[in-house]
Amino acid sequence: MTQWLRINQLMGLIMMLAACGGGTTADSGAQPVPSASADVPAPSTSVFVPAPSTSAGTVVEPSSAPSEVSSAASVAPASSPVGSSAASGVVAVYTRSGGIQGKTQTLVVNGDGNLQLLNGDRTGQVVKTAQAPAGQVEALRSSVTSPEWQQLEDKYGRQVPDGFAYTISANGKEVGTFDGASNPAALEAVLTQLNDLWQIAQTAT
């Protein structure tokens, strides 16, 4: 009985020692938990922003001043076509062709009264020049700018043997007629005026 009591006491002591040794071992293996310290600096939250470059090589300033157009570069308005009344001052061009000799001659009446008699059509050579009275030129101008002139047909009559053919170009209109044709009064008036001017050019020295 005494022996069993001693064994029990010894076993209890061993268990107590074992329990104390295991706790010590567990405590010795634990890692210390770092505590927040005021000595540890907080991470910086400031952001570095580089200053904008002012280099002339990288910054281009657009010009705000409007471009100036030189007066020397101004384009002059296009001139009127050659041969029009606006460009040359021509009041009428009167061509006569045929007759016994079969010749073609042209009279050009200019607004300043200058008369030109040409051999052939309007592209022919000038053979005579003369100066017409201003009143006769103005009377012709009035006739070819009248509504009656614009209402004329393009052609009257037809060619007859040894007869003349007449072509009148004036105020943007061209009218043709022949000897013996039945012409309206407006056309007869213009023919009379042109024949009078023709006589002035023909007799000029």
pLDDT tens per residue, range 120-149: 988 889 999 999 999 999 999 999 999 999
For the chain, helix (H) and strand (E) counts, in that order, are 5, 6
pTM over cut 0.85: no
pLDDT at position 1 is 53
Find where tokens 């907080």 sit.
Answer: 42
| Confidence label for 21 from pLDDT (cuts 50, 70 and 90) | low
| Alpha carbon distance, N-terminus to C-terminus of the chain | 185
Using the predicted structure, report yes or no on whether residue 41 has a pLDDT greater than 50.
no
Average pLDDT over residues 46-60: 45
pLDDT at position 197 is 97
Measured distance CA(95)–CA(117) in Å, rounded: 10
Find where tokens 């009379």 sit.
Answer: 192
DSSP letter at 82?
A: T
The percent of residues above 70 in pLDDT, for the chain, comes to: 59
Domain regions of the chain by residue span: 85-202
Report whether 59 contacts 51 (CB < 8 A).
Answer: no
Distance of CA 21 to the CA centre of its chain: 105
| Confidence label for 35 from pLDDT (cuts 50, 70 and 90) | very low
* CATH of region 85-202, choose from 2.60.40, 3.40.50, 3.30.1560, 3.30.70: 3.30.1560
